[in-house]
Structures are given as C-alpha cells and as structure tokens.
Amino acid sequence: MQLLTDGSADNPILGFCLRIISQHGENWPPTEDALAEEFVDWFRLRPVLTRTAMIELCKAKGVSLSFAPLPQDIRGVNCSFEDRKEIVVTERELAPFADSHTLLHEFRELLEHQFIELGHPTVRTKASLEVQAEIFAMTCRIEAGEKEMPAFFEMVSKVEKRWLRYLGYASVLVFGFAYLYGCIYIRQLEEIGSEAHG
Ligand SMILES: [Zn+2]
C-alpha cells in the first residue's frame, strides 16, 4: 500500500523519482544514461511525436504542457508549485524535433526539483543542471530511436521484392543516421534555422 501513503498515486513524478532513489540511492547520483533509460520506458517516449501526442503523454504524468510564443532566446520554461507542474515550449520550431528536445530538457528540470525536495539532488549547481538537462534530452531521444529500429527493420524484412527490400533497409539506415545526427546537433541545427528565419 506504499503508493497510497507516499502521495505518489496522484503525483506520477514523485512516484518515478522515489523509484529511481530506491534503485540508485546507494550509488547516488545515477548516470544520466541510466536515468534516461528509465525515463524513456516510464514516459513511453517515441522518436517521433506530434504536439498533441506530447501533450497527452505529459498529461498522463501530471504535467500540463502547452506551446506558446516565448521571447527569442527562450526555448522552454517549467514551473512546479505544490502538485501543479507545468511546461511551456516555444511555438516556433527551428529544427525538426526541437519540440521533443526542449520538452525533455524542461522535464529533466522538473525531475531535479523533485529530487531536491526528496533530499537527493543529482547536480550541484543550476549551471550544471542546464548541461545535464541537455545531455538527458539527447540521450532520451537516442534511446527512443534505438528502441524503434528493430520494428522498422522487421517491417522492411517483410517486403517481398529484393531490390525494394534493400532500398527499404537503406532508407531505414539513412533515416536512422539523420535522426541520430539531429539528436546530437539539435542546437546547431536550431542556430541555422534561426539564421534562415532572419
Ligand atoms: Zn533549462
């Protein structure tokens, strides 16, 4: 009956953080890789998500997500007050998948607030949280992509014509490579995007 007594039943983030602490408490903090891996499963992150899907996934975790115009240099903001948790992501998307990246960055910061409240901060300063949140977002997206790859290959393997099947494999690899490149260089792609927008 632990779920009912620690308040995590109506605060999914609390439940998630408590679980991470119970798994990694002896060896705190967990690596960003380990945290990302747990998060991708828990959040049900997919490599490609529409804004509507992102809103739904957040809602399931007790976070209200919205897209709104934000000042030029701000990509996202988050706030948590008692049980209310909110993330706002900038409306203008400067690079493909920048929405997911920003959402994950802000979500990592929400997780950190919860870890701090539970007496288990994972970073020492606000500046290093910014860096960790970037690494977390990138790692989660790579992890989500990696999970999806076997399904794509499986799909292609069912194509009967050999040349079409090879073309399919090549497409999956090219898409996979572009996706991975995007995960790693998202900020650089955004810079290019914003210059192109003037
Ligand atoms: Zn941040």
Residue 184 domain boundaries: 2-196
Handedness of CA 99, 101, 106, 108 (dihedral sign): positive
Ligand 1 geometric centre to CA of 182 (Å): 19
Contacting residues for 119 by C-beta, under 8 A, at least 6 apart: none
> What pairing do the DSSP bridges indicate for beta strands 63-68 and 84-90?
parallel
Ligand 1 geometric centre to CA of 193 (Å): 20
Ligand 1 geometric centre to CA of 121 (Å): 16
Ligand 1 geometric centre to CA of 86 (Å): 14
Taking the C-alpha atoms of residue 20 and residue 42, their distance in angstroms, rounded to an integer, is 11
pLDDT in tens, the chain (198 residues): 444 456 677 899 999 999 999 999 999 999 999 999 999 999 999 999 999 999 999 999 999 999 999 998 899 999 998 778 999 999 988 788 899 999 999 999 999 999 999 999 999 888 899 999 999 999 999 999 999 989 989 999 999 999 999 999 999 999 999 999 999 988 888 888 777 765
**Residue 67: what pLDDT?**
97
**Residue 101: what pLDDT?**
95
Long-range contacts of 34-39 (CB under 8 A, 24+ apart): 35/111, 35/122, 35/136, 36/136, 36/139, 36/140, 36/143, 37/143, 39/107, 39/111, 39/136, 39/140
Ligand 1 geometric centre to CA of 150 (Å): 32
User: Can you give the pTM of this predicted structure?
Assistant: 0.89
Ligand 1 geometric centre to CA of 127 (Å): 9
What is the Cα 35 distance to its own chain's centre? 11
Domain count, the chain: 1
Ligand 1 geometric centre to CA of 109 (Å): 7
Ligand 1 geometric centre to CA of 111 (Å): 12
**Which of the 8 DSSP states describes residue 30?**
P
**Which of the 8 DSSP states describes residue 28?**
P
**b/e for 82-107, b at 16 or more Cβ within 10 A?**
eeebbbbbbeebbbebbbbbbbbbbb
**Residue 197: what pLDDT?**
62
Taking the C-alpha atoms of residue 132 and residue 122, their distance in angstroms, rounded to an integer, is 9
**Residue 5: what pLDDT?**
56
**Which of the 8 DSSP states describes residue 144?**
H
Ligand 1 geometric centre to CA of 102 (Å): 9
- Please give the single-letter amino acid code of residue 120: H
